[in-house]
Structure 1
Amino acid sequence: MSSTEQYLIQERPYYRATADEVELFEAAYAARMPVMLKGPTGCGKTRFVEYMAWKLKRPLITVACNEDMTASDLVGRFLLDASGTRWQDGPLTLAARIGAICYLDEVVEARQDTTVVIHPLTDHRRTLPLDKKGELVHAHPDFQLVISYNPGYQNLLKDLKQSTKQRFGALDFGYPETAVEVDVVSHETGIDPKIAEKLVQIAHRARNLKGHGLDEGISTRLLVYAGHLIAKGIEPRAACMMTLVRPLTDDPDMRDTLDAAVATFF
């Protein structure tokens, strides 16, 4: 299997558009514009990128960013083996070479000195200098860079520089409207839509508590987790406790509040 083929998404990911994000992304890709996806955790940003990669028939290379990630983790490094030293491309370099969509998930988690390496790929140059190797990689014509982050977590220490932000077009993501979210949860888990609607209503109550004891509301991803447990025969209240309450908070009073919301529907 070639490098390109192994990164192709073979089956259509299930994604429900909430506005004109699909058309906007298609236009951005046609212009090879770098795109930034902004929205809360678990709201569908990654699924959207997977769907668009499938729709555009482009390979997708995803990098989960973290605070320990170095520039070498992105671009590549020399490795020692039995034959001596050899160069191994990092995911960003590989994507640039083969014309993949490179998706840097939660890019704000990476150190700012690491994210600077993407700058030459996000303007008219579309190049990636491999300083250690003495090579200048010219991005494949089909290459596109996509990043995501959660604006709710940004602060003075964790935010993108303006010099980085202004290299991207941006799409805002939020949790879907009720009918769409119910459909997503029901489709992903196989549970009855009426049960899915109860889960979504619990999520709405929790999201109203963001900034009032909760750092983040219940995500669509967590609703899907709850639905999977219910589909496996777990009692709904126990499923909700495991997936919708315990992951969000350790505060006893907040847990009681969330438990009460669950008890209202189950």
Structure 2
Amino acid sequence: MPAAFSATAADSAAQYLVRAEPWYHPVGDEVAHFEAAAASRMPMMLKGPTGCGKSRFVEYMAWRLGRPLITVACNEDMTAADLVGRFLIDREGTRWQDGPLTLAARIGALCYLDEVVEARQDTVVVIHPLTDHRRVLPLDKKGELVEAHPDFQLVISYNPGYQSLMKDLKPSTRQRFGALDFDYPESAVETAIVAHEGGVSEEVAGRLVQVALRSRNLKGHGLDEGMSTRLLIYAATLIRSGVAPADACRIALVRPLTDDVDMRDALDAAVATFFA
């Protein structure tokens, strides 16, 4: 490998390192299981509802493993070129620009494709050669075959509750990954998380969790999703800033969740039960 490229790769890797330990509360053996998968170069799939901690977990594992983290927020307009790279034209002529997937493969990063099913299936298939024994990425437009760095690992996430026949992973993609299931933590753990991250007392955090549990019971009965742990932290942050708890709940929990007037009234009633 040329010295110039080595220096560039080292600079890129340093740029994407997670330098401070993210606060993560394990809820099972997920840390040990992910470490085992990383050691065996196994691509991993994280499945769970919105705002339950999947992205924080990946950030924590990148820090724990000492590896760079490159995150891609997938969407339906994302093309294969957005992932692997493309030729650009500037004042000096034509040059190649690596995409995030290619860069991660070169420098040995964790490449995290968040909500991968939002991407088109013809885009997702470009990851296939990196997720089996080959561990290579063909750059057809450039005529280059990138061999993945030994530390490279691909991680994808999605919310199974939102999937349909039109938006799901093909079996040929699914069976290239190990998988970890995530869900909202049990009440005591979620209370500890909200108290720590939101900067409020355990008592206030516990009340917020109880409001969330009421909303989660309504999933499939007027709500697509209940209140996430992320939203509870938002509400706690507002309360810590001096916003009245009931107002904080309306702003951070109820209003983002639904526009249905009757459902809002039901959720507001739940808030009033715990924050009169």
TM-score (normalizing by structure 1): 0.99
Amino acid at match of 1:196: A
1:20 aligns with 2:29: yes
Structure 1 residues 160-189: Cα deviation after superposition (integer angstroms, max 9, x where no partner)? 000000000000000011111111111012
1:158 aligns with 2:167: yes
Partner of residue 6, structure 2: none
Partner of residue 185, structure 1: 194
Amino acid at match of 2:76: E
Partner of residue 87, structure 1: 96
TM-score (normalizing by structure 2): 0.96
Provide the C-alpha distance between the structure 1 equivalents of 2:198 and 2:164, rounded to a whole number of angstroms: 35
Aligned-residue Cα RMSD (Å) equals: 0.6
Alignment of 1:109-188 (within 5 A): 109-188=118-197
Partner of residue 221, structure 2: 212
The sequence identity of aligned pairs, in percent, is 76
Partner of residue 198, structure 1: 207
Partner of residue 254, structure 1: 263
DSSP 3-state at the match of 1:2: helix
Unaligned runs of 5+ in 2: 1-9
TM-superposed CA distance for 1:190, in Å, is 1.0
| Aligned counterpart for 1:55 among listed residues 41, 44, 64 | 64
Structure 1 residues 62-96: Cα deviation after superposition (integer angstroms, max 9, x where no partner)? 00000100000000000010011100000000000
Provide the C-alpha distance between the structure 2 equivalents of 1:217 and 1:164, rounded to a whole number of angstroms: 29
Unaligned runs of 5+ in 1: none
Provide the C-alpha distance between the structure 1 equivalents of 2:178 and 2:210, rounded to a whole number of angstroms: 33
DSSP 3-state at the match of 2:257: coil
Provide the C-alpha distance between the structure 2 equivalents of 1:133 and 1:208, rounded to a whole number of angstroms: 52
Provide the C-alpha distance between the structure 1 equivalents of 2:243 and 2:202, rounded to a whole number of angstroms: 17
DSSP 3-state at the match of 1:36: strand
Partner of residue 98, structure 1: 107
Amino acid at match of 1:16: H
Aligned length: 266
